[in-house]
Amino acid sequence: MKRIFLVSIIILSIGATATRAQERELHAGVSESGFSPIRLALPDFTNRSDATPVEAATHDLLRVLWNDLDFNGYFRLVERGYYDLVPENRTNGIPFDDWTSIGADYLLLGEIDLEGQRLLVESRLYDTEHSQMIFGKRYRSEPDVWRTVSHRLADDIVLHFTGRRGISQSKIVYSARKGEGKEIFVMDYDGAHQQQITQNGSLNLFPTWSPDGEQIAFTSYLEGWPRLYVLDRDGKQSRPLPGWEGELTAAPEWSPDGRWLAFAANRDGNSEIYKMKISSGRLVRLTHHRAIDSSPSWSPTGREIAFTSDRGGRPQIYVMDAEGLNVRRVTFEGNYNDLAAWSPQGDKIAYAGRDRTFDIFVLDLATEAVQRLTFGPGNNESPRWSSDGLHLVFTSSRGGDNALYIMDAAGGRLRQIGPPHGAEGPDWSR
């Protein structure tokens, strides 16, 4: 995956009359819950070449694109069964009325060809009601990175409609059982390209992405005691952070500016929250309490940190400012709430709450309303947000063994991704 993704993009044309009001309406719609999704038809791309790599890519590329657009939450894809009702393109062009009649407000068409040794993907988006093209892009790539083309196209379409960066090119890092230990793995957000990036046979836990997606911090027992390490995204270079032999250091979290790591450490007989400046190793202690303080999560501004503490008797979520002052409790329902994950927009905190088993909850910080997103079975924990704030990845034992699942921020579109057994502790790249 380190191969440079060479893709050239040419904006073919932009429909001049795509109304700005219409786009604003769409944009406003998606920021609310219960918005009406964009109704899009996505028929098979046309294969312009009989070369084998194109044949293989045509089907797979569309499948991945369909999955991306279906999952991201902005679209409702018109069922493929209706596409047969639309006649082939006539001499006078695309039969927009027929597409409209099966419920497609928008239509995405694509062609795939081979240009020399490279894959050429050309895609055009049409507004069927106004019978006009509103977006068009051409992508060139090595044939074996067609999947990346799909994700890029999906994100470009999302950007066009919403003005937001999509999540189709994002990655998920996680810890998975391997032999006697647990190793760190990276995969695409849809579960493809699973890649093991540690190979030390020890316990490797709690991986988290740096904000730029270039590095991963995690806890490893490599030297016999839990210590923090930073690893390149491809696993090639790893370095330990300053540590203290035998002392617990766990669950590192990057500050939004990438300069600090917050983590839980035991330096004097009790677990407290610390932050360390990565460049200098300077250590700042943030909590001072006899209770267990663990699992820090930065607010997107970097000004506050959410964490777990049992200072009230049972584990609950607290918030403090990034210097450790102004500690306040934010969860009050339930008697065991843990693993806070601050949303990228800053308005919500997802966490795991226990009632016999763990489920995922979301706290709205402005209204203090709590929404429960999962209802078992098994334990559902370690929620992490996608960068658009519309999705969560988490660990669930609903299938018997721990595996990773993704869902939208209202608890819908649940699906298992990655290895079916022994995966846990995910983090979603920005």
- Give the binding site for another protein (CB under 8 A): 182, 203, 205-206, 224-226, 246, 248, 250-251, 264, 266, 269-271, 292-295, 308, 310, 314-315, 336, 338-339, 352, 354, 358, 379, 381-382, 424-425
- Sign of the Cα torsion 76, 81, 84, 85 reads negative
Nearer to another protein, 168 or 379 (CB): 379
Give backbone dihedrals phi and psi of 61, rounded to 5 degrees, phi first. Answer: -60, -40
- Distances from the Cα of 114 to the Cαs of 19, 37, 111, 404, in angstroms? 35, 34, 10, 37
Nearer to another protein, 5 or 336 (CB): 336
- Distances from the Cα of 135 to the Cαs of 14, 38, 70, 248, 391, in angstroms? 5, 15, 19, 53, 26
Q: Work out how close the CB of 396 gets to another protein at its nearest, in angstroms, rounded to a whole number.
A: 13
Nearer to another protein, 80 or 285 (CB): 285
Nearer to another protein, 116 or 224 (CB): 224
Q: Work out how close the CB of 274 gets to another protein at its nearest, in angstroms, rounded to a whole number.
A: 13
Q: At what angle do helices 52-71 and 146-162 cross, to 10 degrees?
A: 40
Tell me, letter by letter, the H, E, C secondary structure of 122-155. Answer: EEEEEECCCCEEEEEEEEEECHHHHHHHHHHHHH
Nearer to another protein, 121 or 273 (CB): 273
- Distances from the Cα of 318 to the Cαs of 170, 217, 305, 391, 393, in angstroms? 29, 23, 8, 23, 22
Cα–Cα distance between 106 and 4 in angstroms, integer? 32
Nearer to another protein, 162 or 271 (CB): 271
Q: Work out how close the CB of 324 gets to another protein at its nearest, in angstroms, rounded to a whole number.
A: 17
Nearer to another protein, 158 or 248 (CB): 248
Q: Work out how close the CB of 409 gets to another protein at its nearest, in angstroms, rounded to a whole number.
A: 21
DSSP 168: T
Q: Work out how close the CB of 371 gets to another protein at its nearest, in angstroms, rounded to a whole number.
A: 20
Q: Work out how close the CB of 60 gets to another protein at its nearest, in angstroms, rounded to a whole number.
A: 36
Residues 6+ apart with CB under 8 A from 117: 142, 143
**Tokens representing residue 423 in the block:** 């995966």
DSSP 90: B
Alpha helix locations (H) across 7-51?
Answer: 20-31
Q: Work out how close the CB of 261 gets to another protein at its nearest, in angstroms, rounded to a whole number.
A: 15
